[in-house]
């Protein structure tokens, strides 16, 4: 008899005498309620990027600086998105224009006292990145946000001041083209990779 047939015969005879199920029930903290045996666990999606290859040491330093700048301003952009949503919800409940203006002046003063010094300490590059990330978080440019909340004249004044200092409040965010490196860094921050 061939050795392969003997092994197959052995496994067939062993399975005949083995039990197919155990009658004891194992209770685990992960066991779902009832008799269901499927455990459902939510897992964050994992994004894997190929390593960044820099052509020169200068490019590596520039990328490292971009990572540092994005990590510094990204929390402010997320906070801006949350605050904007909060303010819009409150403004929707305020019936008259005078009360809305008073509410926005009060909110502006609170933000100024809480974050004014930190925002003023940002570098030029960090300010430009913050304007882009605010667009990313809110789907509106900083100009449109000021125009909606404080009026067209205030938006014009702030845009004029921004242009004098080299900024543009009408800047948008394009994760597929111009801002691809920033988007990659943000995804890595959200995933906890950097």
The rounded Cα 15 to chain-centroid distance in angstroms is: 53
Domain contains 183? yes
Domain contains 36? no
| Dihedral sign (CA 4, 5, 7, 12) | positive
Give the global pTM. 0.69
* Cβ neighbours of residue 91 closer than 8 Å, sequence gap 6 or more: 100, 103, 104, 149
Domain that holds residue 78: 62-191
pLDDT (0 to 100) of residue 73:
93
pLDDT (0 to 100) of residue 3:
60
pLDDT (0 to 100) of residue 68:
94
Domain contains 39? no
Structure token digits, residue 53: 């290859």
Domain contains 22? no
Contact 132/76 with Cβ under 8 angstroms?
no
pLDDT (0 to 100) of residue 71:
94
Domain contains 30? no
Strands (E), the chain: none
Alpha carbons 75 and 145: distance in angstroms, whole number: 18
Alpha carbons 36 and 22: distance in angstroms, whole number: 16
In the chain, the number of structural domains is 1
Alpha carbons 178 and 180: distance in angstroms, whole number: 6
Taking only the tens of pLDDT, the chain with its 194 residues reads 566 666 655 555 655 555 555 555 555 555 555 666 677 788 877 777 778 777 888 989 999 999 999 999 999 999 888 888 888 888 888 888 888 888 888 888 888 888 888 888 889 999 899 989 999 988 888 888 888 878 889 889 988 988 898 888 888 888 888 888 899 899 888 887 78
The rounded Cα 131 to chain-centroid distance in angstroms is: 15
**Residue 81: enclosing H or E segment and its boundaries?**
helix 57-93
Domain contains 37? no
pLDDT (0 to 100) of residue 180:
86
Q: Specify the 3-state DSSP secondary structure of 179.
A: coil
């Amino acid at each position: 008899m061939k050795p392969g047939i003997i092994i197959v015969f052995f496994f067939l005879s062993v399975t005949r005498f083995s039990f197919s199920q155990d009658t004891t029930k194992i209770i685990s903290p992960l066991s779902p309620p009832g008799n269901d045996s499927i455990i459902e666990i939510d897992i964050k999606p994992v994004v894997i990027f190929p390593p960044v290859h820099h052509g020169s040491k200068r490019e590596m330093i520039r990328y490292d600086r971009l990572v540092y700048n994005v990590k510094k301003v990204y929390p402010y952009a997320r906070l801006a998105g949350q605050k904007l949503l909060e303010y819009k919800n409150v403004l929707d409940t305020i019936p008259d224009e005078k009360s809305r203006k008073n509410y926005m002046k009060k909110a502006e003063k609170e933000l100024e006292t809480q974050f004014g010094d930190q925002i003023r300490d940002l570098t030029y590059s960090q300010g430009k990145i913050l304007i882009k990330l605010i667009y990313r978080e809110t789907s509106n440019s900083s100009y449109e946000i000021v125009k909606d909340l404080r009026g067209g004249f205030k938006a014009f004044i702030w845009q004029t001041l921004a242009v004098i200092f080299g900024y543009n409040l009408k800047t948008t965010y394009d994760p597929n083209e111009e801002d691809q490196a920033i988007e990659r860094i943000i995804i890595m921050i959200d995933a906890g990779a950097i």
